[in-house]
Structure 1
Amino acid sequence: MSLLLTLLTSCILSAPLPPPDSVGSRGSRSLDALVVRSVTLRGNARTSDRIIRREMALLAGDTISRTDLAQKVAWDQRKITNTNLFVTVDVAAVEDTTAPPDYRPLDVVVTLKERWYIFVAPIFELADRNLNEWWYDRGHDIRRTNYGLRLDWKNFTGRNDKLTALAQTGFTDKYILSYDRPYFDKAQRYGVNADFYYATNREIAYRTFTDKWVYIRPAVLESLRSRLTTSIGITRRDGFYHFHELEARYSRNTIADTVARLNPDYFLDGRRAQKFATLSYSYRYDRRDNVAYPLRGTLATGVLAHMGWLPNADLKQTDLTLGLSHYWPLGKRFFAASTVRLRSVWTNRQPYYNLRGLGNGDDVLRGYELYIIEGQRYALFRNNIRYRLFSTVKQLNWLHVKQFNTLPISAYVSLIGDAGYVSSPVAERYQSRLANRWLYGYGASLDVVTFYNLVVRFSGVVNAQREPGFFLNIQREL
């Protein structure tokens, strides 16, 4: 693990530094200088001008070298696009060639097409980790579904804030209310977020066996587990690419007697309740050309969390997660992507419920989508070589809702090469075949990227156990 940390640190230190957040001091002059005379925004009916200008390095009164202009325009367009507020973004800089060459005014025009911001949609989703687990391991049982109603209100007040509310029943009863506002100060550096989450389960995995979850479902309908969390976070953004967050979270989890008897280590010592507070700090350096499917740029992340900092906590542990992703073009429609993720937990005794490894969330080693490999430490390496088949924008003139009648669509063939390792002190207890050994997966996928950050991926992968698999993954960010 120390070797991996050294490699990650060297990669971060060797990553190219971003250009200065300010284009140039106002009033400075050079023979090759262009002066930004005006910045005009068009098409933002709901979005505040300040939110858009927050993403721009080209501001009225600034000076810029002619050789840097194209790069600045391109990155301003990418940053505005990555707010996920607009269907299309076009940034154009027009030079006034009638002026003397040592003082050329520049007019910047930003043309925008806003998204549809309010989604009130019925919920009908699978209760399992992913479609692949539901199809292969759960017999595609239609009863393992959730249904309800979800509200996602992006750009709630026109300041890139978001309100989310959810009520669902079925396999899992769940209620969520959250609000996220990226900026509340005049300088647009500080933001705030808060959320409430409550869920109950009638069927849960109470342990793993050979890297598969073992479920329990009683004959009578009763809640086997309840989870309640509330949190508040303060965020800060430095320049364009540096994001910080300090979050305080309270968690209260309970289980039925049946679960505690079957696995006394679920909360440790046969306990039925677990209460603790978490204080965490996270950092993100995000300079990607597209957050949904990046082809250029770098993403570096780090999260340090301490659980159990209040008296009488039922869980005391410290958690560190580091990640680095780099994306670069290879030329002639080819692109490369490489990701490293490391996680380590320090604790005297860890409850089964709080074990995390590969297979949870986004930390999936491709080829092992059907497995849960649990442990206290892991390393994940994901690599891709992509070939762009096509990238186009279709105008659906027959559709009269402007937020939906522009359809960007791209398709890529991607070669996959992943490797990972999970260090687990409980591998023998849960008969793990995959922990404490190097794992790898290789194969290919067809990736389709379209509007509203929808990515559909069809992949065929073989893992280290020579098990082939064909998987469908759908990712979407509103």
Structure 2
Amino acid sequence: MIIVKRYFTTTCFLLIILNGSGLAAKKDIATDDTIIVIHSIAVTGNRTTREKIIFRELTFATGDTLTKRELTERMKRSRQNLLNLSVFNFVTIESADGPDGTTVLILVEERWYLWPSLILEQADRNLSNLLHERNWSKVDYGLGLQLDNFRGRNETLKFSTTLGYNKRFTLSHTNIYLDRLRRNSMEFSVSYLSNDQVDYLVQNNKLLSYTSPEGQIVETFKATAGYAYRKHLYQKHTIYLDFKTCSISDTVAALNPGYLYQANTAIRFMYLTYNYTVDHRDSRYYPLEGFFYSGELRKYGLGLFNENKMNILQFKANYNRYFQLSRRWYFGSNNQILKSTLGRYPFYIDHGLGYGKNYIRGYEYYVINGDDYFFTKNTLKFNLLPMHITHLNFIPFRKFNKIHYAIHLNLSADAGYVSDNTNDYRQYNNYMVNSLLYSTSAGIDLVSYYDSVFSVAYAINKSGLRAFYFHFHSPL
């Protein structure tokens, strides 16, 4: 325990020093202050994507008067914006001076957009826990069809049906623009889910599971409508209205009377979510520079379809910061806080650490439920292999045979705290509640095309547990 604490303290101290040095880090930029006027903007390579989608992400426009240095910085940022749409594999932006002014040339290489698929994916909370528990029943398989960049407007149309652990049907249509300026958009989704297995309780900070010999014991339906307003490139307001129903067997209600409310076997409710984000990251799927922050307010129970009188108000905030310290060294910090007020959660609603991307490295095997939480994840990265582009000539398809990849080594220090204000979660020896949690880790990340990331880390947590952990997303 002492060794872990010293390692954690030393690592945090090192990261804080490097974080501070990142504030003062400066990068070389063009120094040409020659005034130019953008005469025209030409786009090539967009066989499917409409030009309006591309022009919406640019930080310059025809007729702009600026210096060459400013244009260089704006072209760099515009390239990052276009890559963050996740509809292009590669983007090149160059400028050429002429007698009438400067012409900006944009070359895009589009991705493959139609994805009929055989689905085989883990249904556990994370890949590391699946490999640790070896509960191979928590695997989904099925068929799906996803059409990205639908109609050339960066919409996504998705249908899937799965068997296995989750018997699920999902249909969604997202990013539907409503106006010519692409400021207003909507999205819709419906899903149906049934299970003959269910995680019904947390004991020793582990989920307890029950499998019914008689078939289906949990059935859920969800419908979502969303509206987004994005006037500026890096700011977005989003409102979601969700309707959910859940029914469970008498056995599940007996195993945990709080699974829904007061041993009920059915519940239905609506909830409203408002989210505001500011996103200045250079990459959304593996950021190295920039910042991101968001605030979210969610109200469970809106009066309609609320026989159980659910009444929960939840606030969540994120602040992430990324620095380039030197040519190959980077530092990133991911921070989140959640606060709940008013009523109590049913067990059915995931809340706490250990679900999705809300976890502390070194605690992937555990869940820590509670009313409120915060966590901070901090990583020092070394770019072992800079972004490299290669051609796989044995693949005949142009949209797949040109790939890029990079490798990063990292050293991390994480900490978090989950509080129990109702004394509901400390039962059953859930000893991690109301206790400061921390860990250190060292790992390697492989970053490649189609937003793919594979991360492996060796972590030591507060209890001294040492293990390797695996993820298919950026640790930050």
Q: TM-score, normalised by structure 1?
A: 0.89
Contact 1:447 1:458 survives alignment (8 Å): yes
Flag the structure with more relative contact order, 1 or 2, with Cα contacts below 8 A and sequence separation at least 6: 2
Corresponding residue for residue 204 of structure 1? 198
- Write the deviation string for residues 149-171 of structure 1: whole angstroms up to 9, x where unpaired: 11111011100000010101112
Q: Which has the higher mean CA deviation after the structures are superposed, 39-48 or 176-185?
A: 176-185
Corresponding residue for residue 18 of structure 1? none
Corresponding residue for residue 463 of structure 1? 461
Contact 1:190 1:237 survives alignment (8 Å): yes
Please give the alpha-carbon distance, in whole angstroms, between the structure 2 residues aligned to 1:35 and 1:153.
Answer: 39
- Write the deviation string for residues 54-87 of structure 1: whole angstroms up to 9, x where unpaired: 0012211111122312111100111011111111
Please give the alpha-carbon distance, in whole angstroms, between the structure 2 residues aligned to 1:284 and 1:448.
Answer: 27
Matched, 1:242 2:235: yes
Please give the alpha-carbon distance, in whole angstroms, between the structure 1 residues aligned to 2:305 and 2:149.
Answer: 40
Please give the alpha-carbon distance, in whole angstroms, between the structure 2 residues aligned to 1:78 and 1:323.
Answer: 22
Q: SS of the counterpart of 2:81?
A: helix
Corresponding residue for residue 449 of structure 1? 447
Q: CA RMSD in A?
A: 1.7
- Write the deviation string for residues 29-78 of structure 1: whole angstroms up to 9, x where unpaired: xx942110010000000000000000012211111122312111100111
- 1:376-391 aligned at under 5 Å gives the runs 376-390=371-385, 391=387
Q: SS of the counterpart of 1:134?
A: helix
Change (3 A) 1:355 1:397: closer
How many residues align? The count is 440
Corresponding residue for residue 284 of structure 1? 277
- Write the deviation string for residues 212-262 of structure 1: whole angstroms up to 9, x where unpaired: 000111222x21111111011111112110011111111111111001111
Corresponding residue for residue 75 of structure 1? 77
TM-aligned CA deviation for residue 423 of structure 1: 0.3
Contact 1:237 1:244 survives alignment (8 Å): yes
Contact 1:355 1:376 survives alignment (8 Å): no
- 1:140-179 aligned at under 5 Å gives the runs 140-179=134-173
TM-aligned CA deviation for residue 389 of structure 1: 0.7
- Write the deviation string for residues 304-331 of structure 1: whole angstroms up to 9, x where unpaired: 1111112451321111110010111000
Aligned with residue 228 of structure 1, among 221, 233, 239: 221
Corresponding residue for residue 120 of structure 2? 124
Change (3 A) 1:144 1:94: same
Please give the alpha-carbon distance, in whole angstroms, between the structure 2 residues aligned to 1:268 and 1:225.
Answer: 15
Aligned with residue 288 of structure 2, among 264, 288, 295: 295
Structure 2 counterpart of 1:51, which letter?
I
Corresponding residue for residue 37 of structure 1? 39
Please give the alpha-carbon distance, in whole angstroms, between the structure 2 residues aligned to 1:312 and 1:152.
Answer: 32
Please give the alpha-carbon distance, in whole angstroms, between the structure 2 residues aligned to 1:182 and 1:331.
Answer: 41
Please give the alpha-carbon distance, in whole angstroms, between the structure 1 residues aligned to 2:322 and 2:228.
Answer: 26
Please give the alpha-carbon distance, in whole angstroms, between the structure 2 residues aligned to 1:76 and 1:191.
Answer: 21
Aligned with residue 217 of structure 1, among 211, 215, 222: 211
Structure 2 counterpart of 1:105, which letter?
G
- 1:7-406 aligned at under 5 Å gives the runs 32-96=34-98, 99=99, 105-137=101-133, 140-220=134-214, 222-311=215-304, 313=306, 314=308, 315-390=310-385, 391-406=387-402
Structure 1 counterpart of 2:432, which letter?
L
Structure 1 counterpart of 2:380, which letter?
I
Change (3 A) 1:181 1:348: closer
Q: SS of the counterpart of 1:68?
A: helix
Structure 2 counterpart of 1:373, which letter?
I
Contact 1:207 1:430 survives alignment (8 Å): no
Change (3 A) 1:237 1:250: same
Gaps of 5+ in 1: 1-14, 16-30
Please give the alpha-carbon distance, in whole angstroms, between the structure 2 residues aligned to 1:428 and 1:38.
Answer: 64
TM-aligned CA deviation for residue 291 of structure 1: 1.0
- Write the deviation string for residues 344-372 of structure 1: whole angstroms up to 9, x where unpaired: 11133322222511101111100000000
Please give the alpha-carbon distance, in whole angstroms, between the structure 1 residues aligned to 2:132 and 2:356.
Answer: 19
Q: SS of the counterpart of 1:332?
A: coil
Change (3 A) 1:93 1:182: farther
Matched, 1:407 2:403: yes
Contact 1:323 1:340 survives alignment (8 Å): yes
Please give the alpha-carbon distance, in whole angstroms, between the structure 2 residues aligned to 1:342 and 1:278.
Answer: 20
Please give the alpha-carbon distance, in whole angstroms, between the structure 2 residues aligned to 1:394 and 1:355.
Answer: 42
Q: Which has the higher mean CA deviation after the structures are superposed, 233-242 or 42-51?
A: 233-242
Please give the alpha-carbon distance, in whole angstroms, between the structure 2 residues aligned to 1:238 and 1:274.
Answer: 38
Structure 2 counterpart of 1:179, which letter?
H
- Write the deviation string for residues 418-457 of structure 1: whole angstroms up to 9, x where unpaired: 0000002323323211110100010111000001010000
Change (3 A) 1:283 1:182: farther
Contact 2:426 2:433 survives alignment (8 Å): no
Structure 1 counterpart of 2:138, which letter?
R
Please give the alpha-carbon distance, in whole angstroms, between the structure 1 residues aligned to 2:277 and 2:82.
Answer: 18
Structure 2 counterpart of 1:366, which letter?
R
Aligned with residue 422 of structure 1, among 418, 421, 424: 418
Contact 1:57 1:76 survives alignment (8 Å): yes
Q: Percent of aligned pairs with the same residue?
A: 27
Please give the alpha-carbon distance, in whole angstroms, between the structure 1 residues aligned to 2:127 and 2:119.
Answer: 15
Please give the alpha-carbon distance, in whole angstroms, between the structure 1 residues aligned to 2:369 and 2:175.
Answer: 35
